[in-house]
C-alpha cells in the first residue's frame, strides 16, 4: 500500500539535434523569409509605380499651368509688364512694412510676451495687411512678364 509509485511529470523534454532535422527547419525558415522578402519587393515595386504616376500627373498639371500663364502673358504683354512694375513697387512696400513690423516687435517684445491683449492688437494690426499684401504680390509676380533685356514702353 505505501510502496506504490505514482507517475511523475517529466521536467525534461526531448530535443532532436540530429543534422537532418536542423537543416529541414533552416530550409523552411529560409523559404519563409524569401517569400516574405519577395512580397515586400512586390509591394515596393507597386508603390514606386504609383509614385511615378503621381509625379507624372503633377508634372503634367504644372506644365499645363505654365503654358496657360505664358499664353496669357503673350496675349497681354502690356498688362504683364505693368504687373511686373507693380510687383516690384509692392515688393519695396512689403520691405518697408516688414521693417515697421520688426521695429514694433523689438520695441514691444516684453509686452507682447506678457499680455494677451497686446499680442491680439499686434496680430490684428499687422496680420491681415501682411497676408493680403503677400497674396497680391504673389499674383502680380506670377502674371508679370519676365524682365526683358530692353526697357519696356512706359504705359500709365
Whether the pLDDT of residue 122 is over 80: the answer is: yes
In this prediction, residue 112 carries a pLDDT of 87
pLDDT at 100: 94
* Domains of the chain by residue range: 25-75, 77-156
Distances (CA, A) of 108 to 35, 42, 98, 124: 65, 59, 15, 15
Higher per-residue confidence, 28 vs 111: 111
- Tens of pLDDT, residue by residue over 63-92, are 999 999 999 999 999 999 999 999 999 999
156 pLDDT above the threshold of 50: no
- Please say whether the beta carbons of 108 and 122 come within 8 A: yes
* Buried/exposed 82-117: b ≥16 CB within 10 Å, e otherwise: bbbebbeebeeebeeeeeebeeeeeeeeeebeeeee
Q: What is the pLDDT of residues 6-15, one digit of tens each?
A: 666 566 666 5
Q: Could you tell me which of 133, 138, 154, 139 has the C-alpha nearest to residue 81?
A: 154
pLDDT in tens, 56-65: 999 999 999 9
Q: Where are the beta strands (DSSP E) in the chain?
A: none
Amino acid at each position: 500500500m505505501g510502496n506504490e509509485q505514482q507517475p511523475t511529470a517529466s521536467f525534461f523534454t526531448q530535443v532532436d539535434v540530429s543534422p537532418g532535422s536542423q537543416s529541414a527547419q533552416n530550409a523552411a525558415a529560409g523559404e519563409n523569409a524569401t517569400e516574405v522578402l519577395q512580397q515586400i519587393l512586390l509591394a515596393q515595386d507597386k508603390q514606386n509605380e504609383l509614385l511615378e504616376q503621381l509625379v507624372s500627373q503633377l508634372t503634367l498639371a504644372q506644365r499645363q499651368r505654365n503654358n496657360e500663364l505664358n499664353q496669357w502673358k503673350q496675349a497681354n504683354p502690356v498688362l504683364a509688364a505693368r504687373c511686373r512694375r507693380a510687383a516690384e513697387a509692392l515688393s519695396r512696400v512689403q520691405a518697408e512694412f516688414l521693417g515697421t513690423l520688426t521695429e514694433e516687435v523689438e520695441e514691444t517684445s516684453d509686452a507682447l510676451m506678457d499680455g494677451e491683449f497686446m499680442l491680439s492688437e499686434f496680430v490684428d494690426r499687422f496680420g491681415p495687411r501682411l497676408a493680403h499684401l503677400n497674396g497680391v504680390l504673389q499674383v502680380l509676380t506670377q502674371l508679370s512678364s519676365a524682365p526683358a533685356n530692353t526697357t519696356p514702353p512706359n504705359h500709365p
